[in-house]
Structure 1
């Protein structure tokens, strides 16, 4: 297997000692969020849609959280591969337990790469717009660099973020605002950003939901539903981050 040259490695994985062979501070953990393009049933189920899929892999079955208006079609595609033994549906949100494990039918699993470089995948795997999002931990920063070098030989990989973890609160392990907040669908993100840019959240408000809906070329009620769902996810996530409890 050929390795990526140092010049090919993103700055996000080259700064702050990410290319050093010896980790000078063994008390730190290193985290990277990678976005990977490759053949995958879950990734394909989200391609060109607003659907997002979160996957928690167990040794005998998977737990899937499927979100979005096209979620029923995405789940139907996955059910043909691994079956569904339990399903909860609320609006555009679906929680499913599969009959078998999806990774047994996949050829692009990341586990072999992780084991090779002593890295750990933090669940869940996330799929959106035809791509897999992986949150990865390593005790030695050089292991993340080695993992990246191997992955880019097989896939198109984008480094979305990286950070060092110096301490872990016992009541909120590895929790950050980013990980506390549930993923917003692309349409929810667009609605929230458009509303903010048009002054909807200023005091006093400078626009209405009807004007925002017209800007996005959607129905007002649809726009308001996107905003409510986005706001609910943001508030629940921040309450969880600050130690509160979100509604069950």
Structure 2
């Protein structure tokens, strides 16, 4: 078996609204509706757009997160959904679909490497912009869960949270003694010190909450 991660630029109802916003969508398709996990600091305009384009049947909110059940399936509104390309090339989609930065990220499973090659060729032929982020051969199950990867362990951080956290690590914020301050990080990112500290705390909380169960 072979697994690849494709990043696809398109203009879908979920891709477009993430293009200029600090937010991310994860989608599980249920044929008649979609289950969405939405995270980020700018999700209100995104949810408003989804409500207009697709419809929202139910919604749960908490701070910068939302779980949404749509009124209809995205495939009912599009003719270029990824599933028809997967079916034609004998590939499978590993959910969820991820939408961020105006792109759709798909984890795809194929029995033969050639299937991934023809899938890529078909998408490019239809003028999709494709970036192959990763590709690997799967020869044995990983741990007790097949196809478990680091993405399944690490929590979803917003683009801004990842930016601030990465900068903090690179600049020595977590070194002993510290080599920078949150004020300096804020100047580098171009946001307020308070916002920088908030992004750091949220990122740290997500990481620690997710990883603490693996310490035992």
What is the TM-score with the length of structure 2 in the denominator? 0.92
Moved over 6 A (4+): none
2:35 aligned with 1:63: yes
- 206-215 or 138-147, larger mean C-alpha shift: 206-215
Would the aligned equivalents of 1:40 and 1:108 in 2 still touch at CA under 8 Å?
A: no
Residues 238 and 162 of structure 1: is their aligned pair in 2 closer, same or farther, counting only changes over 3 Å?
farther
2:132 is matched with: 159
Deviation at 1:186, TM superposition (A): 1.7
1:111 is matched with: 83
For 2:107 and 2:99, the matched residues in 1 are separated by: 12
Residues 237 and 153 of structure 1: is their aligned pair in 2 closer, same or farther, counting only changes over 3 Å?
farther
2:59 is matched with: 87
For 1:151 and 1:107, the matched residues in 2 are separated by: 13
What is the TM-score with the length of structure 1 in the denominator? 0.81
Which has the larger Rg?
1
Number of residue pairs the alignment of both structures matches? 215
2:146 is matched with: 173
1:7 is matched with: none
Match of 2:7 among 35, 53, 56: 35
For 1:74 and 1:32, the matched residues in 2 are separated by: 28
Would the aligned equivalents of 1:88 and 1:95 in 2 still touch at CA under 8 Å?
A: yes
2:179 aligned with 1:232: no
Would the aligned equivalents of 2:58 and 2:70 in 1 still touch at CA under 8 Å?
A: yes
For 2:147 and 2:206, the matched residues in 1 are separated by: 19
2:161 is matched with: 188
For 2:189 and 2:12, the matched residues in 1 are separated by: 31
Deviation at 1:160, TM superposition (A): 0.6
Residues 237 and 173 of structure 1: is their aligned pair in 2 closer, same or farther, counting only changes over 3 Å?
farther
Gap runs ≥5 in structure 2: none
- 137-146 or 224-233, larger mean C-alpha shift: 224-233
* Structure 1 residues 15-54: aligned runs within 5 Å: 29-54=1-26
2:111 aligned with 1:139: yes
Residues 150 and 236 of structure 1: is their aligned pair in 2 closer, same or farther, counting only changes over 3 Å?
farther
Deviation at 1:57, TM superposition (A): 0.5
Deviation at 1:179, TM superposition (A): 3.3
Deviation at 1:167, TM superposition (A): 1.6
CA RMSD of aligned residues (A): 1.8
1:20 is matched with: none
Would the aligned equivalents of 1:42 and 1:127 in 2 still touch at CA under 8 Å?
A: yes
What is the SS of the residue equivalent to 1:63?
strand
Q: Deviations over 1:82-116 (max 9, x none)?
A: 22121111111111111211111112201111001
Q: Deviations over 1:112-156 (max 9, x none)?
A: 110011100011111111111101011111111111111111111
1:217 is matched with: 190
Residues 138 and 93 of structure 1: is their aligned pair in 2 closer, same or farther, counting only changes over 3 Å?
same
Residues 183 and 100 of structure 1: is their aligned pair in 2 closer, same or farther, counting only changes over 3 Å?
same
Would the aligned equivalents of 2:10 and 2:16 in 1 still touch at CA under 8 Å?
A: no
Q: Which has the higher strand share?
A: 2
